[in-house]
Amino acid sequence: SGGEATRLVFTRLSIEQPNVLVLDEPTNHLDLESIEALVEGLRAYPGTLILVSHDRWFVSQLATRVLEIRADGVTDYPGPYDEYVHACGDDHLDVDHVVLKARREKRQKKASPTPESAERPAKRKNSKRDLQKRRQRLEPIMQRIEAAETRVQEIDDLFCEPDYFARTPVDEARDRQAERNRLQLELRDLISEWERIESEINALEARDEIR
């Protein structure tokens, strides 16, 4: 399996004892106990670690320097990931949050009134009514998304506490991880529903522009 192959690679590396490790998504296919064991092993590793990962907890446990690579340049932050998030204001490892934020900004921009929209004729009442209904349907979806995001953040904050896994029973940690996984799936479904309604709104708006 993928997990067995990953563990075999780490076993070989521990025997070879290199002074630099380059790790690309090393937590893929690993269960919770294996990830915890990997973190403990890498903490004891005396060499240099260069890692790429979307696992927020894994990065926060190990990274002492963060390189953010964007289209317009590279940001080199000399500190752990939690401090970097606090400094830049965005948690780039929370993918659902990043996508949703972009869609919110897009919606807000489209919802802003313009002189041109104010001059549209009153004969589009039916179309506007349809738009209003769909926009109203977005509100409860947004509330559920925000509630799920808040709970995921609470769990992530717990996982980032230095002694959390040392003082927390394994079953309790597993339950929280299972809850986080369930919330992530729920968020994906809610965001898909958001996208579907947003597409309908875009289609209605485009139809109005053609008229």
pLDDT tens digits for 155-174? 888 888 878 888 889 889 88
Closest CA to 194 of 152, 149, 143: 143
- CB count, 10 Å around CB of 87? 11
CA–CA gap between residue 38 and residue 186 (Å, rounded) = 29
Region 105-129: mean pLDDT is 57
Return d(Cα 123, Cα 121) in angstroms, integer: 6
Predicted confidence at residue 60, as pLDDT, reads: 87
Residue 65's pLDDT band, with cuts at 50, 70 and 90, is very high
pLDDT surpassing 50 at residue 79: yes
* Token pair in block for residue 70: 């964007």
Q: Which residue has the higher pLDDT, 149 or 31?
A: 149
Q: What is the pLDDT of residue 107?
A: 60
Instruction: Say what the pTM is.
Output: 0.43
Per-residue model confidence (pLDDT) at position 200: 81
Q: Hunting for tokens 């921009």 — which residue is that?
A: 109
204: pLDDT strictly greater than 70: yes
Of the listed ranges 23-37, 76-90, 134-148, the least confidently predicted one is: 76-90
Question: Residue 104: is its pLDDT beyond 70?
Answer: no
